[in-house]
Amino acid sequence: MDRRQWLKSFFSALALMGYVRADPAAASSMMDGMMSGGGMMGNGDMGAMMSPENRGAMRTGMELFEVHAQVHRKVTFLPDGVHAVSISGNPKVAALLQAHVSQMYARLAEDHPFPYPARRSVPVMFAHPTHYRRHLELLKDGVAVTETSRLPWMVDVTHAHAREITRFVKEGMPAMMREMMQ
């Protein structure tokens, strides 16, 4: 499947899920813009991404993009990793944060990767889950996550992941789209 076909499938799936308006002209314009941007990160397979087992994780992530402005995030970069706190004054958003991180950590523990097309760090994290330690603390209003490693290259990956998530929290869907174009 080439990039254009993948993107068309991706946006069609999002439209079916109700996350993007089904405006063919807008979708075509967005796709053309993405294609002229030099490509897309990842070699995601749309069938794998939208499989029943992945839809829940996809839906939770998309819901977080919709409410990104209600998330407050503080990241502390450590010499051996990161400590990140993501919270919200909205209990529904706090529950989404808890569900999403819990889902991702469960997938890591089960060696069940999620095909993220928009992140560069996630595939590396899923490929090497034993190369770093993860600690999740569920807070009443969100989550606190600490990810550390003794391996310098993995520390770099945890730092990159923290920066990616921070961009998603700040900018929402436009940040994801930019990641896909690079």
- Res. 20 pLDDT band, cuts 50 70 90: very low
pTM exceeds 0.85, yes or no: no
What region, left, alpha or beta, does residue 38 occupy, with left being phi > 0 and alpha being psi -120 to 50 degrees?
left
Per-residue pLDDT tens for 123-167? 889 889 999 999 999 999 999 999 999 999 999 999 999 999 999
Q: What was the pLDDT predicted at 37? A: 38
Contacts of 11 (CB under 8 A, 6+ apart): 20, 27, 30, 31
Any bridge partners for residue 87, and if so which? 72, 142
Give the integer Cα–Cα distance in Å for 165 and 163. 6
Highest-scoring range by mean pLDDT, 22-26, 52-56, 126-130: 126-130
pLDDT at position 181 over 90:
no
Domain ranges in the chain are: 3-181
Cα three-residue angle 124-159-97, rounded to 5 degrees: 85
Cβ contact 169:68 at 8 Å: yes
